[in-house]
Amino acid sequence: MLVSHSHQFIYLKTLKTAGTSIEIYFERYCADPSSYPGERHGTETQVSSAGVIGCRKGDTTGETWYNHMPGYQVRELVGTLWNEYFKFCAIRNPFEKTVSQFWFAMADEVRRNLAEGRFEVVRREFANWISPHPFQSDRYIYMIDGKVAVDDVIRYESLSTDMKRICDKVGIAWDPGRLGRYKGDSRPRTEHFSKYYDTDSERVIRQMYHWELEYFGYENK
C-alpha cells in the first residue's frame, strides 16, 4: 500500500491484480528521494515526510504498514487525509484471478510437469484444487462497512489504459515502459482462463465472488 503526500493519493494493494507492478510504479512518489533505495520486488516499510510505502518483504506480522492492508486500517492511520486524498486499487476478473492463484500456489516441480502435459490433465487438477482452495476475496481491502471505499479502480484487463487515467488524475507522467512485470512467470500456459472451468468449478466461483461479478460486470469469458 502507498500514501503520497506530494500527489495526495492512497493506493490499496489487492491480491493477484498486478498489484506489485502498480505499487512499484507509484512508490517513488511516496518516498524521500534522498533515502529511496530504488525499485525492487521486496522492500521494508518506508515512512517519511513524502509518504508511506508499506512493507512487502517476507512476513509482515507486526508491521504497522504492510502491502495488503485493509482499507479501514489505513483510514485509521491517516486520519482526515483519508477523505482528502484520492484512493484507488486494482481489480481483476475472479475467474481469471483464480486461475492465476492456482498456478502461483503450485509447487515448482508440479508446475513444470503440468506446463508440458495435456491441458485435459491441467483442467482436472484445477477442478480438484478449486473446491477446497477458492481464492480469498479481497473486498476487505477496498471496502469499509460494506461500501466501496476507493474513488477509482484499475482493471487488470485494461491495465495500460487505466494506469494512464490514474496517472493523469494524480499528476504523474504515464510511461508504459516503466511498468514492470512481477510474479508473472508462474503461469506457463496460454489457454484462456475460461477453458479451465467445468460446471462445478464455475459454480464455486459464482458463489464465492457473486458480489464482484455483479458489481464489476465480470463473466467467465
Per residue of the chain (221 residues), give pLDDT as tens. 999 999 999 999 999 999 999 999 999 999 999 888 888 888 999 999 999 999 998 889 999 999 999 999 999 999 999 999 999 999 999 999 999 999 988 899 999 999 988 999 999 999 999 977 656 789 999 999 999 999 999 999 999 999 999 999 999 999 999 997 766 567 889 999 999 999 999 999 999 999 999 999 999 98
* Cβ 88 vs Cβ 152: under 8 Å: yes
Q: How far is it, in rounded angstroms, from Cα 73 to Cα 83?
A: 14
pTM of structure? 0.92
Distance of alpha carbon 181 from its chain centroid, rounded?
12
**pLDDT of the residue at 185:** 62
* Cβ 90 vs Cβ 154: under 8 Å: yes
Q: By C-alpha distance, which of 37, 27, 36 is closest to 7?
A: 27
Structure-block grid coordinates of residue 193: 482462463
Q: Which own/partner pairs from 151-154 qualify as long-range (CB within 8 Å, at least 24 positions apart)?
A: 151/86, 151/87, 151/88, 152/86, 152/87, 152/88, 153/88, 153/89, 153/90, 153/91, 153/216, 154/17, 154/22, 154/88, 154/89, 154/90, 154/91
**pLDDT of the residue at 193:** 96
Angle between helices 119-130 and 199-208 (to 10 degrees): 40
Radius of gyration of the chain (CA): 18
**pLDDT of the residue at 133:** 66
Q: Is the dihedral of CA 58, 60, 61, 63 positive or negative?
A: positive
Other beta carbons within 10 angstroms of residue 215's beta carbon come to: 12
**pLDDT of the residue at 137:** 87
Q: CA end-to-end span of the chain, whole Å?
A: 30
Q: Cell 509447487 appears where? A: 107
For the chain, the structural domain boundaries read 2-92+137-178, 94-134+185-216
